[in-house]
Amino acid sequence: MKNLLLENDEVRIESEDGILFAIWKSSFIDLNIAQQAIVYRLEATRYIPYPTIINIRSVKSINKPARDFLASEKGSEGIIAAAMLIDSSLGRILGNFFIQINKPLKPTKIFTNEIKAKKWLAKYVNKE
């Protein structure tokens, strides 16, 4: 059962079995929203690093400054590895673009299935 850690207009943050779930609620992510979401995540986890499932199913657009920030050391602070959860061709395009162009610092993969994402992240639980 997932434990709710934080919820607001931009993001919902939950945890289960040593994995963090960050569910984007905004359809558009700019630098300000991205920076604020990281603050929320770090506060919700008390700065403890987690393997994280990032659900981007609601995201339709993310600008370059936001992508650059999220791929940076500051943007990936508190993340051991990231599984991006998508459900559309647009999600796959956004995810692949992020991984190939922005080159996140932490291991990052795209998934359409939450169970497979959790299985991949399981090897990162309690690794930091």
* Number of domains comprising the chain: 1
pLDDT tens digits, 55-93: 999 999 999 999 999 999 999 999 999 999 999 998 999
Q: Which domain covers residue 59, as residue numbers? A: 3-124
Residue 1 has a pLDDT of 87
Residue 71's CATH number:
3.30.750.24
Sign of dihedral through CA atoms 63, 65, 70, 75?
negative
Q: What is the mean pLDDT of the segment spanning 34-57?
A: 96
DSSP letter for each residue of 59-125: --EE-HHHHHHHHSTTTTTTEEEEEEE--SHHHHHHHHHIIIII--SS-EEEES-HHHHHHHHGGGT
CA–CA separation, 100 and 105 (whole Å):
12
